[in-house]
Structure 1
Amino acid sequence: MTRITNYELFEVPPRWLFLRIETSDGIVGWGEPVVEGRSHSVRAAVEELMETYLLGEDPSRIEDHWQTMYRGGFYRGGPILMSAIAGIDQALWDIKGKQFDAPVYELLGGPVRDRVRVYQWVGGDRPAAVGEAAAEKVDAGFTALKMNATPEIRRVDNPSAVADAVDRLRTVREAVGPEVDIGVDFHGRVTKPMAKRLAKALEPHEPFFIEEPVLPEHNDALPDIAAQTSTPIATGERMYSRWDYKHVFEDQSVDIIQPDLSHAGGITEVKKIAAMAEAYDAAMAPHCPLGPLALASCLQVDAVAPNALIQEQSLDIHYNESNDVLDYLEDPSVFDYDDGYVDLPDGPGLGVDIDIDYVRERAEIDVDWHNPVWRHDDGGVAEW
């Protein structure tokens, strides 16, 4: 019987953590377990799970391993543990696909689409020069974009802050026209009263969606915000399991869910979340400002989820200052974008081949990425 015999973790620029799992028959599986800015914590959680539960076990029992990693500990859930489970789960599916010489999506029931629509970020953390950047991305073939709505914003801000956000969206809409979709990310920076004002003010320029209008701990405010606008509401990048999503499905306040394949329990869990969303007529657009293994995992679930709408990807995103998504791949063409779509990867497992020599080289660099801490004019901490 095949057994898990070894694992390695590689922290690599710009802010990613890769997991490599080896089996007794020589198959290698890769995953991407990371929380941006908390990679050391996730590394420790992966090591604990591998040493406690998985070394010496049969890699093929993925669901059982998921249940054991999640339910085997008295304390469960949260970003660190669920991200550790996510990366391990991705690697186990990569191994299983390679054992059967098939993409993971073939083992999940087969694809319901041939390609997946993707969107491109513009404008940076404090959105600027968005019109010019948007036009460039559309000229490059993208048909959907996403931008931050605001820089830091006060709990109840002045009319100018709202007008500035409207002007930025208007500039992008005028630059790209009505046939390009523009997602607007509130990034959890915005309080409930400002989210209501912004949602209504931005609506004339027809955003594709407004994302994370409030922090997930305030999801109870989403029905009130949704009542102010016809713009679809999206959220979920900081929700880590099907149980976290229960209430937004039940109150039907969210139109697009955004689970992250490296945070929300991996392929096993996100497929279940997608099925729950389908029952409530909610679409899925997985969160993925991460690396190639996270993106490849997203595409496996996008392939089989009928309600998958569009896929985030991080090529040229403002966080990728030293390395980018394609750098770690032996064959970067697997993520070639054509008219705003990417074809499903057809290789076995996750469908990507990692350049192990380059990974080892880059892992020698001291990577210690943390998101900035923003402050308001009065010195108080602002949401980033």
Structure 2
Amino acid sequence: MSRITCLRTIRIAERPNLIWVELETDEGLTGLGESFRGAEAVEAVLHEQVAPWLVGRDSRRIEAVSRHLMTPYLGFQSTGAEVRAASAIDLALWDLAGQRHGIPVHEALGGAMRSEIRTYNTCAGYAYNSGIARGATAAGRRDIGADDRPIGPYDDQLAFMRDAGALAESLLAEGFTAMKIWPLDVQAAASGGQMITLSELKAGLEPFRRIRAAVGERIEVMAELHSLWSAEAAARICHALEDLNIFWVEDPIAKMGDFKALADLRRRSRVPICGSETLGGAVSFRQMLEAEAVDFVMLDLAWCGGLTEGRKIAALAEAFARPLAPHDCTGPVTLMAGLHLAIHAPTAIFQEVVRATLATWYRDLVTELPLIVKGMAQAPTRPGLGTALLPDVRAREDATVRQYGTPNAA
């Protein structure tokens, strides 16, 4: 038996959306998990509901723990706080499993399909999504003002709004052959996403046109719509993007769980549809695939239920002959977990990365990050997820640390 002796959570004020979970066992192992958004709510679920049930149980029974935590009386089949908490626990349990056997998680999942996987750069800035700041949208995304100036060489969100062609050239020079941008987000506020005018559409398409003018077909371009639009507005946007050879349009409608509306949009447009990081649990993904609503499947392991649900979603993607692309615009542990799944899953085609965070604050938090060579993320080789929180994170002045149970001796 590998009994869980302690559940610990760590949050830092500098990155208020992030929460980490450490599970310690009587073997002397520590497994690391992570979730994102509403960190305080997730913390409350972990300590008030999960920890009293989980501490003392066998950490090897990952499927049993997942079944229990993914079927609460309220909050299942969603990405609510209960499921985000379950996701963090599940990642930590898989980390423990890999460490226990001395193998990477992708091997524990059943082995690698590939030794590396193509990445695309999500063109975000350094602090994108990591906090709710003044001037940000409801999702925590940054609005670009006329007076904004780059805060570093990888301030890619400002770059795609100002000179998307130069940004594409920069990415190609570093080995990236795919990029994702969202210049249409700023157009949604005027109508609450209910409609987009021709002038707004023209302005929103300009960065895509500049990319094609600068680098032609040498880079793939994804359009992120961040679930901001009505189905009709999204259809107008998709039609306008058709001649620009967009690789996919991601999360185009306001309610990505409305699979009928999403399927109708897919039938009306020649642009491939990708969805959705916002869904939780394998059942939601099965329903989306049964509705023939998407061309590409995206999932976030910190929101969907962790690797236990993630591998089931990957199996569904394979059964429905749909490519898979794990999400990352959240935290370094989720990125490592997504890479393990992408290395393992048969239909995986991309692992999302943000070069701005890889080059800066992700490195301040964890011991290891993915190795990217000429735009290809290499398969992790260390046991478990292959990364851990740096020791000084827990000791930071802005850290909130709570634990339940008896920690391992230092």
Same fold (TM over 0.5): yes
Partner of 2:356: 316
Partner of 2:262: 222
Identity in percent: 28
Q: Does 2:389 align with 1:354?
A: yes
Distance (Å, rounded) in 1 between the aligned partners of 2:178 and 2:30: 35
Size of the aligned set, in residue pairs, is 359
Distance (Å, rounded) in 2 between the aligned partners of 1:330 and 1:217: 36
Deviation at 1:54, TM superposition (A): 0.7
Secondary structure of the corresponding residue to residue 377 of structure 2: strand
**8 Å Cα contact 1:10-1:363 kept in structure 2:** no
**8 Å Cα contact 1:152-1:189 kept in structure 2:** no
Deviation at 1:242, TM superposition (A): 1.2
How does 1:63-102 map onto structure 2 within 5 Å? 63-71=63-71, 73=73, 76-79=76-79, 80-102=81-103
Q: Given the alignment, which residue of 140, 161, 180 partners 1:128?
A: 161
Change (3 A) 1:103 1:131: same
Distance (Å, rounded) in 1 between the aligned partners of 2:75 and 2:337: 26
Change (3 A) 1:337 1:362: farther
How does 1:254-333 map onto structure 2 within 5 Å? 254-316=294-356, 324-331=361-368
Q: Does 2:46 align with 1:46?
A: yes
Deviations 1:347-381 (A, max 9, x none): 00001133122343264389xxxxxxxxxxxxxxx
Distance (Å, rounded) in 2 between the aligned partners of 1:277 and 1:152: 32
TM-score w.r.t. length of structure 2: 0.82
How does 1:162-201 map onto structure 2 within 5 Å? 162-201=201-240
TM-score w.r.t. length of structure 1: 0.88
Change (3 A) 1:196 1:74: closer
**8 Å Cα contact 1:34-1:87 kept in structure 2:** no
1:108 partner letter: L
Deviations 1:21-78 (A, max 9, x none): 111121000000222xx11111111223432321011101000111111235465342
**8 Å Cα contact 2:75-2:83 kept in structure 1:** no
Distance (Å, rounded) in 2 between the aligned partners of 1:176 and 1:46: 48
Partner of 2:5: 5
Distance (Å, rounded) in 2 between the aligned partners of 1:240 and 1:100: 29
Deviation at 1:303, TM superposition (A): 1.5
Secondary structure of the corresponding residue to residue 355 of structure 2: coil
Partner of 1:160: 199
**8 Å Cα contact 1:33-1:88 kept in structure 2:** no
**8 Å Cα contact 2:297-2:324 kept in structure 1:** yes
Secondary structure of the corresponding residue to residue 46 of structure 1: helix
1:282 partner letter: R
Q: Does 2:246 align with 1:245?
A: no
Deviations 1:283-341 (A, max 9, x none): 11112111211011111111211111111123315xx99x622222234xx42321111
**8 Å Cα contact 2:187-2:200 kept in structure 1:** no
Q: Given the alignment, which residue of 314, 322, 339 partners 2:374?
A: 339
Q: State the Cα RMSD in Å.
A: 2.1
Distance (Å, rounded) in 2 between the aligned partners of 1:185 and 1:257: 14
**8 Å Cα contact 2:187-2:204 kept in structure 1:** no
Deviations 1:81-116 (A, max 9, x none): 111111100000101111100011111110000012
Partner of 1:232: 272
Secondary structure of the corresponding residue to residue 316 of structure 1: helix
Secondary structure of the corresponding residue to residue 10 of structure 2: strand
Q: Does 2:185 align with 1:142?
A: no
Q: Does 2:36 align with 1:34?
A: yes
Deviations 1:216-252 (A, max 9, x none): 1433212222123222100111100111122221121
Distance (Å, rounded) in 2 between the aligned partners of 1:11 and 1:177: 44
- For structure 1, the residue ranges without an aligned partner over 5 or more in a row are 367-384
Change (3 A) 1:171 1:190: same
Partner of 2:246: 207
Secondary structure of the corresponding residue to residue 207 of structure 1: coil
